[in-house]
Amino acid sequence: MQVRTDCQGGGIGKALMVALIERARAIGKHVMVAGIEAKNVGSIALHKKFGFEEAGLLTEVGTKFGQWLDLAFLQLNLDSRTDPDSTKTP
């Protein structure tokens, strides 16, 4: 997803991230994964503000306007469960 250029900086991305993270925790997800075009520094910075950490990079997996695109993966652990079958967090 991308926020329209004329709407950037208005808090839409932040509000969406808050809602998505809250929802993921509410339904018991353990990890969120983000796949972001590697040169999209704004989106990567936003995710990092929420605690996402770099998890990997796939190079030249897409194209746009005749250029190869890399895909950065970031992840956020949503809880500290040690038992994957547990629904309770310590």
State residue 1's pLDDT score: 60
Q: What domains lie within the chain, and their CATH numbers?
A: 5-77 (3.40.630.30)
| pLDDT at site 70 | 98
CA 83, chain centre distance (Å): 24
Per-residue pLDDT reduced to its tens digit, 44-76: 999 999 999 999 999 999 999 999 999 999 999
pLDDT surpasses 90 at 6: no
Spatial separation of the C-alpha atoms in residues 32 and 73, rounded to whole Å: 10
